[in-house]
Amino acid sequence: MNRKILQLAFPSIVSNITVPLLGLVDVAIVGHLGAASYIGAIAIGSMLFNIIYWLFGFLRMGTSGMTSQALGRRDLQDVTRVLYRAVGIGFFISLLLLLFQYPIRNVAFSLLDTTEAVETLAISYFNICVWGAPAVLGLYGFSGWFIGMQNSRFPMFVAIAQNVINIVVSLLFVFVLGMKVEGVALGTLIAQYAGFFLALYLWFTYYRKRLKGQVCWQDLIDKVSMRRFFQVNSDIFFRTLCLVAVTTFFTSTGAKQGDVILAVNTLLMQLFTLFSYIMDGFAYAGEALAGRYIGAQNSKGFERMVHFLFGWGVGLALFFTLLYGLGGKNFLSLLTNDTLVIREAGGYFYWVLAIPFAGFAAFLWDGILIGATETRFMLYSMLIASVCFFLIYYSFSGYLGNHALWMAFLAYLLLRGIMEWILFRHKQKRTECL
C-alpha cells in the first residue's frame, strides 16, 4: 500500500512544485527590464488568472474521483465518458470566458488599485493570456482523468514540459526579439497550449486504443450522468469560493495593518504553501485510490488505504514541524534581508509551527472525499470552517490584532479536517446500519 501511495504522490508533488515556477520565471524575466511597473503588471495579471482558474479547479478534482470509481468498477465506457464530458465542459466554459473577456477585464481592473502604468501593461498581459483558457481548462480535465486512472506521471511530464517551454520561449521573445510584457504573455500562452497538446498526445498514444469504441456520444449528455457531474462539481466550485474568500481576506486584512505585517504574513504563508504542495501530492493519491476501492466495492482496501495515508500524514506533519522549528527562520532570511520584517516574524512563528498538525487532515480528507465523490461533505465542512474563521477573527482582533488572524486561520484548517472526518464516518455508520 505504501508503494501505491508513493507512486501516485511523488509525481504529483513534483507537479505541484513546478506550478509556481511559471509565475516565478515571468517575474524574473521582467525584473530585468528596468522598471518596477513590469513586475507589478505580471503580478496583477497572474493573480487575476490564478483566481479565475482556481474557481474552475473542479474540472480536475471532480474528474479524478469519477474516473477512479469507474475504473474500480471496470466500466471503460464511463471512464471514457467522464473524460470527454470534462474536457467538453472545460471548452464550453473557456468559450464563455473568451466571449465575456472584456466585461471580466473591466470589472477586475475597476476593483484593483494600481498605477496607470501598471494597469496598461497588465491589460496587455491579460488580453494575450486570456486566449489560453481552452488549453488550461482542457488540461484540467486531462490531469484529473490521468490521476483517476492511477497515473500521476503524465501530469508531471506535462508540468515539467510547460516550464521548460515557458522559459525558453519567454527568453526568446523578450531578450532576442525585444518584446516586453507581451513577450512574457506569449511565452505563457504557448506553454499552456504545449501542455494541453502534450496531454492529448499522451492520451492518444497510451489510452485511445484501449478505449476505442467504448463511448456512445448520446450518453455524454445523459440526464442522470450530467446531473451527478454538475452536483459533484458545483459542490467543489462553492467550496473553492469559500477558500478564495478566506485566503483573500487573510491577505487584505494583513495589508490593512501596514507594510511590515503584510510582509510578515506573506513570508510566513510561504511555509504553509510549501507544506501544502507536499500534502496535496498525498491528497491526489487519496483521490485515485479511494475512488478505485469504492468503485470496486472493496471496503477493506479502502480502510487500509485511509490508515496508511494518515500514517504518512502524521509523519509528514511531525517532519515539517521539526523542520520549521529548526530551520524555518533561516529560510525566512533567504527570502528577505529586511531585519525588521524578520524580527517581527519571530513573534508569529509559533503559529507556523502549528500549521502541519492543524492542517494535514484537511488535505487528506479532501482527497479521500473527492475520490469518494462525497463532495457535499467537503462543502459543508468548508462552510462551517469559514464561518468560524470570521467569527474567531472578529471576536479577538480587537485584543490580539494580527495574532487573531493567525489563530482564526489555524482553527479554520483544523475544523475542516475534523468536520470532514465526522461527516464521512457518520455516513459510513449509517450505511452499515441500513
Contact 259, 340 (CB under 8 A): no
Q: Is 371 or 109 the better-scoring residue by pLDDT?
A: 371
Q: What's the pLDDT at 407?
A: 93
* Percentage of the residues of the chain whose pLDDT score is greater than 90: 28
Distances from the Cα of 180 to the Cαs of 33, 169, 221, 408, in angstroms? 8, 12, 45, 41
| Whole-number average pLDDT of the chain | 83
pLDDT digits (tens, 9 = 90+) for 359-400: 999 999 999 998 888 888 999 999 999 999 999 999 998 888
Q: What's the pLDDT at 224?
A: 64
**The three three-digit cell numbers of residue 152, written as one number:** 500521476
- Please, which pLDDT band fits residue 97 given cuts at 50, 70 and 90? very high
- Please, which pLDDT band fits residue 121 given cuts at 50, 70 and 90? confident
pLDDT digits (tens, 9 = 90+) for 294-320: 888 888 888 889 999 999 999 999 999
pLDDT digits (tens, 9 = 90+) for 229-281: 777 778 888 998 898 889 888 877 876 777 677 777 777 887 888 888 889 88
**What's the CA gap between 401 and 257, in Å, rounded?**
9
Contact 279, 360 (CB under 8 A): yes
In this predicted structure, the answer to whether residue 40 has a pLDDT above a threshold of 90 is no
- Please, which pLDDT band fits residue 339 given cuts at 50, 70 and 90? confident
Q: What's the pLDDT at 383?
A: 95
Average pLDDT over residues 173-183: 80
In this predicted structure, the answer to whether residue 37 has a pLDDT above a threshold of 70 is no
- Please, which pLDDT band fits residue 46 given cuts at 50, 70 and 90? confident
pLDDT digits (tens, 9 = 90+) for 199-219: 999 998 888 777 665 555 555
**What's the CA gap between 23 and 185, in Å, rounded?**
11
In this predicted structure, the answer to whether residue 345 has a pLDDT above a threshold of 90 is no
Cα 304 versus chain centre, distance:
26
Give the Cα-Cα-Cα angle 166, 170, 174 (nearest 5 degrees).
Answer: 175
Q: Is 360 or 60 the better-scoring residue by pLDDT?
A: 360
User: 52: exposed, middle or buried (C-beta count within 10 Å: 0-12, 13-18, 19+)?
Assistant: middle
**What's the CA gap between 43 and 122, in Å, rounded?**
8
- Please, which pLDDT band fits residue 23 given cuts at 50, 70 and 90? low
Every domain of the chain and the residues it spans: 1-221, 231-434
Q: What's the pLDDT at 257?
A: 73
DSSP string, 216-275: -GGGGG-HHHHHHHHHHHHHHHHHHHHHHHHHHHHHHHHHHT-HHHHHHHHHHHHHHHHH
